[in-house]
Chains A and B, each alone.
Chain A
Amino acid sequence: MMLEQKVKITSHQKIAPQVFLMAYASPQMAAQARPGQFVHLKPSGPGPLLLRRPFSINRVKGSNLFIMYRVVGRGTSLISSLPKGTEMDVLGPLGKGFEISRKYSEHVILAGGMGLAPMQFLADRLKAMKLESRIFYGCAGKKEMLPCPAPGKIIATDDGSCGYKGFVTDAFLTCIDKFKKPVVYACGPWPMLKRTAMICRQHNIDCQVSLEAFMACGVGACQGCVVKGVKEYVTVCRQGPVFDSREIDWEQEFGL
Chain B
Amino acid sequence: MKNIRTKNSIDLSVEIAGIKMKNPVLAASGTFGYGTEYLPLVPPGLFGAVITKTITLLPRAGNKPPRVYETPGGMLNSIGLANVGAEKFLKEKLPELLSHHPVVIVNIAGNTMEEYVELAGMLKGRPGISGIELNISCPNVKQGGVAFGSDPIQAAKLTTLAKKAADKPLIVKLSPNVADIAAIARAVEQAGADAISLINTLYGMAIDIDKQRPVLGNITGGLSGPAVKPVALYNVFKASRAVKVPVIGLGGIMSSDDAVEFMLAGASAVQIGTASFVDPSAVKEITGGLKDYCLKKGYSKVSQITGKLAV
Give the B-binding residues of A (Cβ under 8 A).
1-4, 42, 48-52, 74-75, 89, 91, 213-228, 232-233, 238, 254-256
Contacts and interface: CB of A to CB of B under 8 A. Distances in A.
17 contacts: A2-B40, A4-B281, A50-B73, A50-B278, A51-B274, A52-B277, A217-B33, A219-B33, A222-B30, A222-B277, A223-B53, A224-B67, A225-B68, A226-B62, A238-B37, A255-B66, A255-B208
Nearest to B34: A221
Given A3-B41, A223-B82, A224-B67, 8 more contacts: A51-B70, A51-B274, A52-B277, A216-B77, A217-B276, A219-B33, A226-B67, A233-B65
Interface string B24-43: 00000011110001101100
Interface string B66-86: 111110111101010010000
B75 A216 contact: yes
A50 B70 CA distance: 7
A2 B40 CA distance: 7
Interface stretch (B122-130, B197-205, B211-219): B211-219
A167 B69 CA distance: 30
A231 to B, nearest CB: 10
Nearest to B67: A224
Q: Helix, strand, loop or mixed for chain A's interface?
A: loop
Contacts of A3: 41
A241 to B, nearest CB: 14
A255 B41 contact: no
B309 interface: no
Given A4-B41, A233-B62, A221 B68 contact: no
A219 B40 CA distance: 10
B278 A52 contact: yes
A2 B280 CA distance: 12
B251 interface: no
B61 interface: yes
Q: B interface, how many residues as a size bin?
A: 35 or more
Nearest to B37: A221
Interface in B258-275: 274
A99 B26 CA distance: 38
A50 B75 contact: yes
Given A50-B73, A74-B70, A255-B208, A222 B65 contact: no
Interface of B: 30-33, 37-38, 40-41, 53, 61-62, 65-70, 72-75, 77, 79, 82, 208, 211, 213, 215, 217, 225-226, 274, 276-281
A59 B73 CA distance: 32
A215 B77 CA distance: 10
A213 B65 contact: yes
Contact of A255 (B32, B70, B213, B278): B213
Nearest to A218: B277
Contact of B61 (A49, A218, A225, A233): A233
| Max count, chain A CB within 10 A of own CB: residue among B32, B68, B276 | B68
Contacts of A4: 41, 279-281
Contacts of B40: 1-2
Contacts of B277: 51-52, 216-218, 221-222
Contact of A219 (B37, B62, B73): B37
Q: Give the residue among A2, A49, A223 with the most B Cβ atoms within 10 A.
A: A223
Given A48-B72, A213-B66, A214-B66, A255 B215 contact: yes
A91 B37 CA distance: 13
Chain A to chain B: the 6 pairs with minimum beta-carbon distance, closest first:
A221-B33, A224-B68, A221-B37, A223-B82, A216-B277, A217-B277
Interface centre among A2, A50, A219, A233 (most CB of B within 10 A): A50
B37 A215 contact: no
Contact of B67 (A51, A223, A256): A223
A75 B32 CA distance: 24
B212 to A, nearest CB: 11
Contacts of A213: 65-66
B65 A50 contact: no
A226 B65 contact: yes
A149 B62 CA distance: 42
B62 A222 contact: no
Most chain A beta-carbon neighbours within 10 Å: one of B65, B74, B215: B65
Contact of A220 (B37, B77, B274): B37
A119 B88 CA distance: 38
Nearest to B80: A223
A90 to B, nearest CB: 12
A217 B65 contact: no
Nearest to A228: B65
